[in-house]
Chains A and B, each alone.
Chain A
Amino acid sequence: MTYLVLENHLSYSIVLDEAGDFIKVANMGYDVGETLTEIRTLKRGMSRPFQIALGTVAASVIIAFVVILSTMMTAFGQVTLRINPSVIIDVDRQNTVTRIQAGNRDGETLLQGYEYKDKSLMPVIDELVTRAIDDDFLLPGGKIALDLNARDEAWLDVTSSEISAHLQSFMADIMDVTIEITRLDVGTQQVIIPVRGLPARPDPAAETDSEEDMTDYGIEEITDSPLTRPTVRETSPQTPAATRPPVTNPPVTSPPASIRPAATNPAATNPPATNPPQDISDYDDSSFDDSRDDSAYDASDYDDSLYGDSPYDD
């Protein structure tokens, strides 16, 4: 690059470079019209080392900002709400919902038109449960399952207890449901909370059946069935219903296998041993007189020789 000296001042010269730039440079005793190959320009802006330092600081700030932002954007915890619609809720450190995804087709239906931005976890759960009730996904006796997943154990502890307490109080005024909270960090540990909602209308038929069931087979045997026993059961003194067996457990309509044969056994028709002994003195048992001829049933008339070769070892 060459520079044509156009004008000289006491402290500087003005040169024209080949690219068409007019530049102020140090006047090192140049003549007008002289062509230069090297110039010393007026300082513009920052020095090179300062630019590098400033650039490094700026890059560090940007990197730190990106790291912090990505940390904030990453889900801190995840709550999967399963009613029938399945919905996956991501939350940040402050339990603010950052993303909601549908887990199945009903989940997509449930989330249609739903806005979760800047909302906390609990209101979102409330609103989704309310939507599920409105859309008839959740009916009385239904189940709300929540799977909690996060790396932070403290968050899991706090959130699981908060959700259970919150949902219990929220659902208590609405309907009977079972709340099942599962922590995925410790395997399949569950908390099942039956919630007694508004008193259900009495159903005489159902009540009779229930009575019969209880009389015939005993409630203790049903509730102790391994099929219905929860892994961890949380009872709440504030809610008497919580001390009952889960309302939503379907009543066992068929008796346990150990009881079923007794129903067809004639011996089972005998009064239970616990019943008080009946006074039979007033009964006329003349018709059952021993004078009946039962000779026809004499054992001697039976020919049991046919059974002599029985292959069964009795």
Chain B
Amino acid sequence: MNEMIAIADRVQAAKQDSLAADDLIRDYLPFIRSETAALCKKRPGQSIDDELSIAMLGFHEAIQGYNASKGPFLGFASRIMKHRLIDYFRQEKRHYGQISLSTPVTNDSETTLEEMLPDEVRHEEVYDSRQATKQEIAELSNQLSRFGLNLSAIADNAPKQGRTKRQCLQALKHAKAHPLIIQETIRTGRLPLTALADGAGVEKKTLERHRKYLMALLVIYSNGYEMIRGHLKQVLVRQTEVHP
């Protein structure tokens, strides 16, 4: 009984704190692995890495959606993981009859088909580019944490509906056209909601509801972060043109 209460408390804490969620998942990794293996019906030694990743995502989803009044957490988590794995298996059915690039060339060989393909990618350039991106992302995380934000919270705060998202991007477009707004935001760490809402012609309440998300976008469009902006640039331009 005490153990159930302890789990429920930990789940409650994990809902608010992504690190606490990671700790909880780490502690229950054997449970997640056994549930996955039981559903996959794979022989010992066969890899279940992909399935395990899906099951862990299901476990995380269970943490977010758990209600202590509706029963014990582990049973609920087991059901969610099972449903997500079934969805995964259904999606994977599309690839039946196709040979994986990870398949060995011969039964005795350790060389995979992927390694036999002609390599047209310049690995050094890819590595450099990824390192630069990694550095930018680390810098972004630091800057966001100075404003009391983290990427998990931003992902949870991102708009889900197309209309709301268009309004947020409209506000971003207005801020890009008025660099002072972005500078002021970075300097004070506060989002000028009234200026953005009035300038973009959108509802202030909508922007307020997605304050963390907007803050992250404004930080990305401040100085630096060219790699991340390069990833976003084309789509943002296209979207604001289509939905002025």
Contacts and interface: CB of A to CB of B under 8 A. Distances in A.
Contacts of B49: 28-29
B134 A32 contact: yes
A4 B133 contact: yes
Interface string A1-30: 010101101111010111111111111110
B160 interface: yes
Classify chain B's interface size.
35 or more
Contacts of A24: 60, 152, 155-156
B216 interface: yes
A31 interface: yes
* Main SS class of interface, B: helix
A7 B138 CA distance: 9
A3 B160 CA distance: 17
B241 interface: no
Nearest to A24: B155
A42 B64 CA distance: 11
A95 B172 CA distance: 61
Contacts of A7: 137, 141, 151-152
Interface residues of A, number: 33
A20 B137 contact: no
A34 B26 CA distance: 24
A11 B151 contact: no
B232 A16 contact: yes
Interface string B15-28: 00010011001100
B213 interface: yes
A12 B232 contact: no
B25 A11 contact: yes
Contact of B216 (A10, A22, A27): A22
B130 A6 contact: no
A215 interface: no
A251 interface: no
A159 B43 CA distance: 81
Dominant SS among interface residues on chain A = loop
A22 B151 contact: yes
B61 interface: yes
A42 B57 contact: yes
Contacts of A218: none
B25, B26, B133, B140 pick with most chain A CB within 10 angstroms:
B133
A2 B232 CA distance: 10
A43 interface: yes
Most buried by B among A20, A23, A29, A44: A20
Interface in B225-244: 228, 231-232, 234-236, 239
A139 B236 CA distance: 81
A27 B21 CA distance: 14
B91 to A, nearest CB: 8
Given A18-B235, A22-B155, A9 B22 contact: yes
A90 B62 CA distance: 59
B88 A40 contact: yes
A11 B22 CA distance: 7
A51 to B, nearest CB: 14
B25 A32 contact: no
B169 interface: yes
Given A20-B217, A20-B236, A44-B160, A10 B56 contact: yes
B154 interface: yes
B158 interface: yes
B131 A33 contact: yes
Interface string B138-150: 1011000000000
A22 B56 contact: no
B158 A21 contact: yes
A144 B53 CA distance: 85
Contact of A16 (B22, B156, B228, B234): B228
A310 interface: no
Nearest to B88: A40
Interface in B106-158: 130-131, 133-134, 137-138, 140-141, 151-152, 154-156, 158
Closest 10 CB pairs of A and B: A11-B56, A33-B133, A33-B134, A22-B155, A26-B57, A11-B60, A18-B235, A33-B130, A10-B22, A7-B151
24 contacts: A7-B152, A10-B22, A10-B25, A11-B60, A12-B56, A17-B235, A18-B231, A18-B235, A19-B165, A20-B172, A21-B165, A22-B154, A22-B213, A26-B54, A26-B57, A27-B56, A28-B53, A32-B134, A32-B137, A35-B231, A40-B54, A42-B61, A43-B84, A47-B87
Given A7-B137, A9-B22, A26-B53, 5 more contacts: A11-B57, A11-B60, A16-B231, A20-B232, A33-B137
